[in-house]
Amino acid sequence: MIRKLSLFILSTLFITAACTKEVPVSINKQQMAESVKTEFLHAWNGYKTYAWGYDELKPVSDTARNWYDVSLLMTPVDAYDTMILMGLNDEAEEAKDLILSELHFDHDMSVQNFEIVIRMLGGLLSAYQMDGDERFLELAKDLGDRLLPVFDSPTGLPYVNVNLQTGETSGIINNPAEIGTLILEFGTLSGLTGDPVYFEKADRAMKGIYERRSDIGLVGETINVETGEWVNTSSHISGRIDSYYEYLLKASELFGLEDYRMMYDESITAVNEYLLDETETGTWYGRADMYSGERTATTYGALDAFMPGMLVFGGELEIAKKVQEANYSMWTMEGIEPEGIDYSSMEITSPYYLLRPENIESAFYLYRATGDDRYLKMGKTMFESIVEYCKTESGFAELADVRTKEKNDGMQSFFLAETLKYSYLLFADESTLDLDTHVFNTEAHPLTNTWDQ
């Protein structure tokens, strides 16, 4: 009884905080869009000054880092279409010059397929579609060809890593997100080049995960790509599974595939039956065993916050609204969201903030769907807290702990590709990007079907 009363008081406090920490009712959207653009330029100019030609800026030490032995220009590739959407033509031109003069993939080094696909392949394909320069597509095709060996497993499920020069693969324990978050990029590459091999490989991998779902319709967290056996049977919507569901839905839209919509509908029905959790602290998605559906954990976090956006895309608006209220309470509990919480007690389990975009992304989709200013207010609060707590003299830094606001020396490329893009599009005129004709990959690179027209 005491615990129930405590949870009631706690949830009331969180709801009150979420409702009272409001910005003024009237929001000047144009002014906010310009503010986001200003902060993008701050981050980009910091990259130019201290990290030009490298993958990423380290915004506390004003130095640079590469992911691998040599730079793949992750920040310029990831940020390019954001610049186009913002109308930053001079910056886009200098990024383009750097990419087309310096980027190549003939390196004897092993890379993580998933991250390279969503950031590099997705970025190059979007750059080609938005700019039209054939050299972007040539780079994308060269990269796609070098990544294809990941699919050469006995099951067709991709390995984790591949050497860009030799094609040697490694990493037999993979997950649904890294296996399923390939179809948009590889399918687009097939559409633009006329070569079906890219789509066919990614399609087999996606369906390989779907066909191995449990009898109750859930997938697990990790799987052996050589045997097809599940290794970790925990089911959830967080990292390692999240964008698998996203790509089932978005592939049905981008490619007009009815079977993908069917796979999504069956999957989301199971997710909502076994993972959706209506509690005294809000509406969340927890964790359950993929075979029994039994609840195993009440953890939720920054990566899970993409869910309302996907639900909007899939037509489940009312659930999306409720989950976004929970998302916002997670963000405002310490002024900026932690990586993870236990939603049953609202205790922080992972205190860092990595400049993630998913909460703002969901506010963007909900505003586009409803026109409700509440989502503008959410976005304004979230964007301004990033500026308040994460801004440095050269860029924006991750937080080691949202409670103390101590900074880490990192600014991943997705901050420019996703976090600032969704922030800008939330406030920009809707004609800036038509969601009826464009689909975002999970790194927020807009893709459009031009080959079936």
Q: Which residues are catalytic?
A: 115, 242, 339, 358
- Residue identified by tokens 């449990």 is 214
* Nearest Cα to Cα of residue 184 among 268, 239, 97, 122: 122
Which of 299, 447, 395, 346 is closest to 59 using CA atoms? 395
**Cβ(192)–Cβ(451) under 8 Å?**
yes
Q: How many angstroms separate the Cα of 402 from the Cα of each of 282, 360, 379, 381, 382?
A: 21, 17, 18, 15, 13
Q: What is the DSSP code string of 146-207?
A: HHGGGG-STTSPPPSEEETTT--EE--EE-HHHHHTTHHHHHHHHHHH--THHHHHHHHHHH
Residue 433, number of CB atoms within 10 A of its CB:
18
Q: How many C-beta atoms lie closer than 10 Å to residue 219's C-beta?
A: 27
Please report how many Cα atoms fall inside a 13 Å half-sphere around the Cα of residue 332, on the Cβ side. 22
How far is residue 276's CA from residue 287's CA, in Å, rounded to a whole number? 9
Whether residue 91 contacts residue 41, with contact meaning beta carbons closer than 8 Å, is answered with yes
- If 0-12 CB within 10 Å is exposed, 13-18 middle and 19+ buried, where does residue 21 land? middle
Per DSSP, what are the bridge partners of residue 56? 65
Residue with tokens 């039209």: 132
- Give the number of residues written for the chain: 453
Render the burial of 400-432: b for 16+ CB within 10 Å, e for the rest: bbbeeeebbbbbbbbbbbbbbbbbbbbbbeeee
Closest CA to 49 of 376, 385, 392: 392
Q: Could you give the CA distance from residue 365 to residue 306 in angstroms, rounded to a whole number? A: 10
Q: What whole-number distance in Å separates Cα of residue 128 and Cα of residue 418? A: 18
| Secondary structure element (H or E) that encloses residue 41, with its range | helix 29-51
